[in-house]
Chain A
Amino acid sequence: EIVLTQSPGTLSLSPGERATLSCRASQSVTGNYLAWYQQKPGQAPRLLISGASSRATGIPDRFSGSGSGTDFTLTISRLEPEDCAVYFCHQYGTSPVTFGQGARLEIK
């Protein structure tokens, strides 16, 4: 199965700053079928990005995804307090689909 490794494990930034989260795959992600999710405590994951770079419905344009092959990035520009959450990457091009271990974003 494809192993997704996220870095850094925890990121602590101030409001207004830019966050860059990385997701590296153990092998190429078929079709660049790579998604990003945001999860807040006690809530289900929320889809942010699919197909590596397409924002899901209702997601602010502060969130952007990029990358291809084995290296993908989620960028959150102009951080807001409500962006405090755990972010997961997810590949769905190869079965079994897999998730990264998660990256915690803290807002100072």
Chain B
Amino acid sequence: QVQLQQWGAGLLKPSETLSLTCAVYGGSFSGYYWAWIRQPPGKGLEWIGESKHSGGTNYNPSLKSRVTISVDTSRNQFSLRLTSVTAADTAVYYCARGPWVVRGVIMTNLDYWGQGTQVTVSS
């Protein structure tokens, strides 16, 4: 059974850097992209981006200038950094298992999620 467990600072001041980490237990780590999604209070879901175990990344253009997603294959972990945060970045942040692509076909996507981390940006 695949499980994702995430952690990181929950209270930030404007202009600080958000940093979250997600550990993957069970299942294969390689071959998948690993993704971050966020949900502002009372609102819908926003995809932040994803990184493959080999290092390839895709980011939401709306956040691309401030986002870095990195993967540590030795620990089966992946991380999110979001710089220069503002109140608009206040949200619950989720890590999730991203796409598994086989010969151009997306076999699975966002099928396992972490528990979520509430991040609040306030002065």
Contacts and interface: CB of A to CB of B under 8 A. Distances in A.
Interface in A85-108: 88, 90, 92-93, 95-102
A33 B104 CA distance: 13
Contacts of B46: 99
A57 B116 CA distance: 22
A44 B114 contact: yes
Contacts, number: 50
Contacts of A46: 113
Interface of B: 44-47, 58, 60-62, 94, 96, 99, 105-106, 108-111, 113-116
Interface residues of A, number: 23
Nearest to A100: B44
A4 B72 CA distance: 33
A12 B33 CA distance: 37
State the main secondary structure of chain A at its contact with B. Answer: loop
Contacts of A99: 44-47
A50 B109 CA distance: 8
A97 B47 contact: yes
A35 B62 CA distance: 22
Given A44-B94, A93-B106, A95-B58, A50 B45 contact: no
